[in-house]
C-alpha cells in the first residue's frame, strides 16, 4: 500500500575520521547494523536497500549485503556527488511512497582520508601555453585557471566573494568567524573528526587554500558511514510505543539539479538549486524557515555557509551577514546552524554526509543530543549540495506519540 507519511525509525553514524583498519564495506556495515538496532528491526524487515558510495568499487550495495544480510531485496547503488547520502535516503522514501515496501534501509559511506582538498579534481594541467578545446563540453570546460575554476576550494571561494561583492559586509575575518563558530560547536560532538575549538587567530593564520578560506575553513576529508531505516506511517502504527515515540517524521524530501542558465556553464551555481530545493521543501512540509529549530547545512567551506543562510531563506535576501552578526546561527541562538560542528569539524566523507546531517537533526528532535541538545527542538532541516549538480533538502519533525 502506498504511503504518504514516512518516518525515520532508526538512524546512526560511525565516528568520522581516519579508519585505516576498515574499508568502505566495514564502515557501511557498522552504520547499517547500528541503524537497524536503533530502530529495533533487522535486515529481514527491509524491503529495499539504497547504498551510496562514490569512490569504491561498483556493486557496493551487494558487497554490503554480504556483511549485513542477503535477503533478496532490490539494491540500488547510488552516486550523486556530495548529495549521494541524501539521494539514497530519497530513493527509499520514493519506494515506500510507491507502495513497493513498508520499510527500507539507506546507507552512505566513503573512505576519503588522505584524498587532499582537491580530491579527484586535483589533476596536473598541461604545461602548454595554448589551450585547445576538446571533449564533450569543448570551449566551456577544461578552462580551469583561465576563466574560472572547477576545483571545489576555488568554486566556493568565488561564491563567497561574489556574495560579498553583491551585498557587501563580508571580509576575511567574517568568514573565519563562521568557521570559529563551527569548530566551537564541535567540542560537544564525540563523533566529529575534530572535536576541538579553534581560536580566530589560528584559523586566520593557517595555510591559505583559496582566499578567503584557510585550511580550517575547509571541510575535513575523512572516512565514515551513516545509515537510516525508514518506515511507512501505517507500518509504524503496528510497532511498539517506544518505536513510535522515537520515530522522526519526514515532512519533506526534495532533490533538485541546476536549471539552465548562462553562468552555470562556466562557474558552478550553488545558489539556484539550493533555493529551489528549499522552496519546494517548505511548500511540501507546510512550514517556513521561521518554524525551524535547527539547521544542518552543507558548509563544505566557510564561504558556503554564509551563502546558504540566504539560499535556505534563513534570512532576507542579501541579509546573510546581518543574520550571522545577530548571533542567530550559534548554538544558543534563535536558529542554530551546524551544532554538530559542520563539515569543517565533523568531517565530510562525501556519500555519508547527507545521512549524517539528517542524523544530527534527528538526534535533537528525539531529545537525545546530550550536552549539545537544542532544547524543545521540534522541526529541523538538513541540507547537502553536490556540484554537478544535486541538492537534497529534508525537513524533519519530532514524533507526536
pLDDT tens, position by position, 101-141: 999 999 999 998 866 554 543 344 455 566 566 665 555 54
Q: Which three cell numbers stand for residue 340?
A: 554538530
**C-alpha to C-alpha distance for 272 and 51, rounded to whole angstroms:** 27
Residues 338/296, Cβ–Cβ less than 8 Å: yes
pLDDT value of position 152: 84
**C-alpha to C-alpha distance for 249 and 88, rounded to whole angstroms:** 17
pLDDT value of position 125: 47
- Greatest mean pLDDT among 105-114, 227-236, 254-263 lies in 227-236
Average pLDDT (173-187) is 98
Residue 396 pLDDT > 90? yes
Residue 62 pLDDT > 60? yes
pLDDT value of position 121: 38
pLDDT band at 206 (very low <50, low <70, confident <90, very high): very high
Helix (H) or strand (E) holding 76: strand 75-78
Residue 249 pLDDT > 50? yes
pLDDT value of position 319: 98
pLDDT value of position 3: 66
In words, the CATH class of domain 6-114+220-397 is alpha beta
Residue 177 pLDDT > 70? yes
Backbone angles phi, psi at 364, to 5 degrees: -75, -40
**C-alpha to C-alpha distance for 357 and 120, rounded to whole angstroms:** 24
**Residue ranges covered by each domain of the chain:** 6-114+220-397
Calculate ∠ Cα 37-41-47, nearest 5°.
125
- pTM: predicted TM-score of the whole model, two decimal places: 0.92
pLDDT value of position 137: 53
pLDDT band at 33 (very low <50, low <70, confident <90, very high): very high
**C-alpha to C-alpha distance for 202 and 194, rounded to whole angstroms:** 15
pLDDT value of position 120: 43
Residue 329 pLDDT > 60? yes
Average pLDDT (9-34) is 96
Q: Which residue has the higher pLDDT, 123 or 84?
A: 84
Residues 65/107, Cβ–Cβ less than 8 Å: no
pLDDT value of position 122: 38
Residue 341 pLDDT > 80? yes
Mean pLDDT of the chain: 91
What are the residue ranges of helices labelled H in 40-83? 60-68
DSSP calls for 124-191 = PPP--SS----STTGGGSS-BTTTB--SHHHHHHHHHHHHHHHH----HHHHHHHHHHHHHHHTT-TT
pLDDT value of position 139: 55
Residue 266 pLDDT > 70? no
Q: Give, rounded to a whole angstrom, the gap between the first and last alpha carbons of the chain.
A: 23
Residue 256 pLDDT > 50? yes
Amino acid at each position: 500500500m502506498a504511503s504518504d507519511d514516512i518516518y525515520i525509525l532508526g538512524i546512526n553514524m560511525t565516528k568520522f575520521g581516519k579508519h585505516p583498519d576498515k574499508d568502505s564495506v566495514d564502515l557501511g556495515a557498522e552504520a547499517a547494523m547500528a541503524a537497524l538496532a536503533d530502530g529495533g528491526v533487522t535486515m529481514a524487515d527491509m524491503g529495499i536497500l539504497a547504498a551510496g558510495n562514490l569512490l569504491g568499487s561498483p556493486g557496493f550495495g551487494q558487497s554490503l549485503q554480504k556483511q549485513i544480510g542477503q535477503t533478496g531485496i532490490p539494491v540500488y547503488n547510488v552516486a550523486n556527488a556530495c548529495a549521494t547520502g541524501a539521494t539514497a535516503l530519497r530513493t527509499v522514501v520514493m519506494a515506500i511512497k510507491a507502495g513497493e515496501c513498508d520499510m527500507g534501509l539507506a546507507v552512505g559511506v566513503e573512505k576519503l582520508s588522505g584524498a587532499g582538498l582537491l580530491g579527484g579534481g586535483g589533476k596536473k594541467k598541461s604545461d602548454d601555453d595554448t589551450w585547445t578545446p576538446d571533449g564533450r563540453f569543448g570551449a566551456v570546460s577544461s578552462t580551469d585557471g583561465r576563466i574560472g575554476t572547477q576545483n571545489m576550494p576555488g568554486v566556493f571561494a568565488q561564491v563567497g566573494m561574489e556574495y560579498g561583492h553583491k551585498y557587501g559586509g563580508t571580509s576575511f575575518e567574517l568568514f573565519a568567524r563562521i568557521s570559529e563558530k563551527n569548530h566551537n560547536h564541535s567540542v560537544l560532538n564525540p563523533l566529529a573528526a575534530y572535536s576541538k575549538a579553534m581560536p580566530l587567530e589560528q584559523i586566520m593564520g593557517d595555510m591559505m587554500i583559496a582566499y578567503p578560506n584557510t585550511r580550517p575553513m575547509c571541510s575535513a576529508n575523512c572516512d565514515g558511514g551513516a545509515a537510516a531505516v525508514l518506515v511507512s506511517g501505517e507500518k509504524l502504527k503496528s510497532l511498539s510505543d517506544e518505536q513510535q515515540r522515537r520515530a522522526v517524521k519526514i515532512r519533506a524530501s526534495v532533490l533538485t539539479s541546476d536549471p539552465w542558465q548562462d553562468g552555470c556553464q562556466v562557474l558552478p551555481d550553488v545558489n539556484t538549486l539550493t533555493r529551489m530545493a528549499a522552496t519546494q521543501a517548505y511548500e511540501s512540509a507546510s512550514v517556513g524557515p521561521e518554524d525551524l529549530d535547527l539547521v544542518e547545512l552543507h558548509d563544505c567551506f566557510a564561504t558556503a555557509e554564509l551563502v546558504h543562510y540566504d539560499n535556505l531563506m534563513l534570512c532576507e535576501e542579501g541579509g546573510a551577514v546581518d543574520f550571522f552578526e545577530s548571533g542567530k546561527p550559534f548554538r544558543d541562538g534563535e536558529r542554530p546552524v551546524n551544532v554538530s560542528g559542520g563539515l569543517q569539524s565533523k568531517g565530510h566523507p562525501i556519500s555519508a554526509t547527507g545521512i549524517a546531517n539528517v542524523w544530527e537533526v534527528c538526534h535533537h528532535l528525539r531529545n537525545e543530543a546530550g550536552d549539545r541538545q537544542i532544547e524543545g527542538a521540534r522541526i529541523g532541516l538538513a541540507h547537502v549540495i553536490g556540484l554537478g549538480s544535486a541538492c537534497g533538502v529534508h525537513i524533519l519533525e519530532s514524533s507526536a506519540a
